[in-house]
Amino acid sequence: MINKNTTLNLKKHLLDKHIRSTLSDNLRKEYNKRNARVIKGDTVKVLRGEYKNVEGKVEKVKTGRSTLFIEGIQREASKGGKVKVQIHSSNVMITSLNLHDKNRSNVVRKVKSDNSVKKGINIKSNISKRRNRRNLNVKKVLKPQQKRVNDSNDSQDNKGDK
């Protein structure tokens, strides 16, 4: 769980990354991932608490407290009526993912864009250029340092003895 003091100063895009839940066994095998970020529209199953084994879709995600509002999970309010219950993201398991967003489906599947091919970046050539620059900057001939020989008479330790 995230400490309250650390979350106060975090930016929203960094705080969103903490709202993760484990994937079901089927999804783990399919995507080769252990957990994923929970978003609106995912179907989750509650693993802990009063509503254990209840399954439903995520209606709303609260990033500040890392909690979720899930369809079908409600309790009676003190004044009467129904109130939706917040459940922490660590207490649920994702059973199906909402892949309507193209970017999210790429993140889950770990698909990377081919920017390196488009830009024509060659990693090996960059390494050889660095080595050449280093060789040019290093002086081939280094002057040997002369050893200084201190006279025992001139040293500070012996000045008081005279």
pLDDT tens per residue, range 105-161: 887 777 665 554 555 555 555 666 666 666 665 555 445 555 555 555 555 655 555
pLDDT at position 113, please? 57
pLDDT tens digits, 49-78? 999 999 999 999 998 888 999 999 999 998
- pLDDT, position 24: 94
Tell me, what's the pLDDT at 103? Answer: 83
For residues 38-43, average pLDDT: 92
State the pLDDT at residue 109: 78
Q: H or E element: which one contains 129?
A: helix 123-137
Query: Which sign, positive or negative, has the C-alpha torsion 94, 99, 101, 102?
Result: positive
Contact of 74 with 63, CB cutoff 8 Å: no
Distance CA 37, CA 16 (A): 8
Residue 106 has what pLDDT?
A: 82
**What distance in Å separates the CA atoms of residue 72 and residue 44, rounded to the nearest whole number?**
12
Asked if 19 contacts 89 with a C-beta cutoff of 8 angstroms, the reply is yes
Residue-level pLDDT at 141: 46
Residues 4-112, CATH architecture: Roll (2.30)
Confidence of residue 2 (pLDDT cuts 50, 70, 90): low
The H or E element that residue 88 is part of is strand 82-88
Closest to 23 in 3D by CA, of 41, 48, 42: 42
